[in-house]
Structure 1
Amino acid sequence: MADTIYIGYDFKVSPLQPGTEILIAELGYAGFESFVENETGVTAYIQKGDWDAFILDNIQILNSDEFEITYQFNEIEQTNWNAEWENNFKPIDVDSLVTVRAPFHKKPNTKFDLVIEPKMSFGTGHHETTYMMIQHILKNDFKNKSVLDMGCGTGVLAILAEKCGAYKVDAIDIDNWCYLNSLENVERNDCHHISVYEGDATLLEGKSYDIIIANINRNILLLDIPTYAKCLKANGMLFLSGFYNEDVSIINSKCKDFNLTLKDQLERNNWASLMLKK
């Protein structure tokens, strides 16, 4: 891809979160294919052939009164993007038990070796929420369990769930690129009990699980918690993340309305992750 020309947009976002997270999701739908988050917002890249002057017209967050977003853009010099990605993606070690790495990294000496090529999907282990979800999985019994990974991104949590003994895993993401990327990563990790679907919580009608993992964002979680509760078997476990510490009370309050009891909470750099039981 060294001869591909890109357009780069530098977005400054306030408040930074969840503004940056929402912006990246909307830009992904518009055709932007890579993102680099920074202290003021995010830089997003799109191939010049896929770009036009109206590319941001349907990015709703740019018209929101809740966020102040400014941007500038320019044509990027020809770059070897594969080499750039390799230089910037470092292996992640979680509690010396799980390594999340790219195919070009050296094989580690950890119990679980997850090989993930994220492309533009979310879930390499770098983000605090994914890291904490991995910790939750390691702390709990997944052997012979049926599992849902909702908002699966790269499929990394679904892959770990199978490697921890889950006999059946459904991985769902609304984003087409994430769906395709999860399929690739499931095959790359030689998993045979994971089914990947493209869609949202409407796909859960009539399904039931021992464990549900949902690493999305606060607003989607609040909308979908009733569905998760309905799909969760008695004594089942629900793992939630994608929100800040200050959001825990509203998330937990919603869960209480559906007989979900908080059993464990992790925190990492102001991000939170909960384990609840039905």
Structure 2
Amino acid sequence: MNTRFAPSPTGQLHLGHVAAMVYVWGLAARLGATVHVRIEDHDRQRCRPEYTAELRETLDWFGFVPVNGGRWSQQSEHDDRFQSALALLRERNLVYACRCSRKELEPLPDAAERRYPGHCRDLNLPETEGTALRVRLPADSIEFHDARHGRQTQRPSAQCGDPVVRDRLGQWTYQFVVVVDDLHDGIDWVIRGDDLLPSTGRQLLLARLLGRSAPLHYFHHPLIVNPDGTKLSKRDAAAPIAELRGQGLSPAGIIGLAASRCGLLPEPAPRRLDDLADLFGRWTFENLFHQPYRFVY
């Protein structure tokens, strides 16, 4: 079994990232899975080398490193595999150029994202500078099982429409590169936050278009959120890990703090990386964390 931790170097790490690490390494220990660490630095506008260096140093400090034969990798070094995947989709006549701006997408009622209505789908536009590339998705609904949420049904054509695989600046998009990299690394257990649950159906369809036949297993864990219920993010006032380290907290202390915020522990108490297998061994997937936990500053 293979899983991965895939952070983006777009800012300093905070407690929400540590919670994600706890889930990945803890569940991997329980499952006996290999853990790969993939730095998702495909976004050249937001990712910075200094954040990548800090991310690597912080993971080493915690001991959250590849295990059971896992590997470090950086998405910015994977251009050849992305080009090959794009060529495969082209051969199947699934790629087309799009000149639409975000403003032209259709806002859906009560939805956090906008749906692409297919303006350029059949226009046969030339691939010129400033055009994006999209992939034609079938109108199918897709079913999958999440170890926490149970059976899920999504219809990506109604959620988002045809996804962009390369944007107007020539950058690869998250929805595309995560699928290609997961296929390349043989990932069969995806452990990640609830905010990415809506992306699962479109990623499964992309994987099928690229030839994946093996089933994928999912566990979407709850998020540490702000007092108002919004996701804790790098843009918030969340204390970065560097600040917690400066206050004298040890790796075990910060891991225990994150575990308590996730409901894994009743109160903050130091937990080493080696303790995570026992921590997760006490839970069944059916009773794993049905609500997000609030992080109050």
TM-score between both structures, scaled by the size of structure 1: 0.25
Flag the structure with higher strand content: 1
> Relative contact order (alpha carbons < 8 A, sep ≥ 6): 1 or 2 greater?
2
